Amino acid sequence: NDLLSDQVFGGPHRSLLAFKSIFAICAFATCGGYYGRLQVKVDCADRRQSNLSINIDFGYPFRLEQVHFRAPLCEAKRGEVLFLDGDYSSAAQFFVTVGVFAFLYSLMATVVYVFYQNKYLKNNRGPLVDFVVTIMFSFMWLVSSCFWAKTLSDIKAATNPTQVLLLISACRAQENKCAATQEPLWSRLNTSVVFGFVNLVLWGGNIWFVFKETGWYKTGHRYPTRSASGKRSSEMRQRLYSESSFDQPDESFGPTRQNSFNQSQTDYRPYSLQRHAAGGNYVCQIKHVSPSCQVLCW
């Protein structure tokens, strides 16, 4: 069970799948399920034509141009039908769509990690697809969150009580009194913007961890760079050169020592040789005498 858990949820991006799903739900639920109400009153000088409770209801997908309400004219015994301004459905629907698809992909990825782990890693296709999709969702969360944040500010301006009261003809007359008795609550939509940027951090921050599972990252670490390989080959050449220097004959050994050295290749007996040099005395011992002998000096 522990091994299966490490394989399925070993990577950081896999461990955060639950958070991706939860925050995606929070993002599209707080936006898609919003319902707001603005209530205004028109107190006419005549008093008989006053309307102290005019309800203006709106919500997702925020097609405010279709939201209408009825207000009194005060000068005549009739009223007028007014509409709010603006259509902000594109940004809201795009934000909700990204959230829904991000939630569905997180669920699908969880199923693949748990039940189709071998197929996911086969031919490196699974990690590559996961890497590309993660980049796409990171970009879409960035665009949708910024777009929705800007659109939300426009919705607040379009439903501002001062802006709405200017649409009512009776409120333009100084003798009539108009005011807002109830304003919509924006905390839910403000939270949706926060959830959008939280999803951006979750998906964008996991791009590196998903990339580490792809063949591109593994290939780069499997084969070292040219500078590193060149450095290793240079060190190997120096080591071989220092070892091969003992195989060259030296006249200072003399015939006797040269013969004893040659004889040691077949006798397999340790020898202690002493060589005089300008820098001092070096005692060399043939540790293992064979056709390819090894000499230790100190």
* pLDDT computed for residue 55 by the predictor: 94
Q: What is the mean pLDDT of residues 197-203?
A: 96
* pLDDT computed for residue 87 by the predictor: 95
Beginning with the edge strand found earlier in the chain, give each strand of the sheet holding 51-59 in spatial order.
51-59, 35-43, 177-182
* pLDDT computed for residue 277 by the predictor: 40
Residue 294 pLDDT exceeds 80: no
Q: Is 50 helix (H, G, I), strand (E, B) or coil?
A: coil
Rounded-to-integer distance, Cα 282 and Cα 273, Å? 8
Q: Determine the distance from the C-alpha atom of residue 228 to the mean position of all C-alpha atoms in its chain, rounded to a whole number.
A: 31
Q: Determine the distance from the C-alpha atom of residue 142 to the mean position of all C-alpha atoms in its chain, rounded to a whole number.
A: 11
Radius of gyration of the chain (CA): 40
Question: Does residue 61 have a cis peptide bond before it, meaning omega lies within 30 degrees of 0?
Answer: yes
Nearest Cα to Cα of residue 170 among 49, 281, 38: 49
Rounded-to-integer distance, Cα 7 and Cα 213, Å? 12
Q: Provide the pLDDT confidence category of residue 295 given band limits of 50, 70 and 90.
A: very low
Structure confidence by residue, pLDDT tens digits, 18-64: 899 999 999 999 999 999 999 999 998 877 778 888 999 999 999 99
Residue 162 pLDDT exceeds 90: yes
**Higher pLDDT, residue 159 or 277:** 159
% of the chain beyond a pLDDT of 70? 67
* pLDDT computed for residue 18 by the predictor: 87
Rounded-to-integer distance, Cα 96 and Cα 61, Å? 10
* Prediction pTM value: 0.68
Q: What is the mean pLDDT of residues 102-106?
A: 95
Structure confidence by residue, pLDDT tens digits, 127-142: 888 899 999 999 999 9
Who contacts 67 (Cβ-Cβ below 8 Å, separation ≥6)? 56, 57, 58, 83, 84
Average pLDDT, the chain: 77
Where does the chain have alpha helices with state H?
A: 2-8, 12-15, 17-32, 89-115, 117-121, 125-158, 161-165, 187-205, 207-211, 215-222, 226-244, 254-267
Residue 244 pLDDT exceeds 60: no
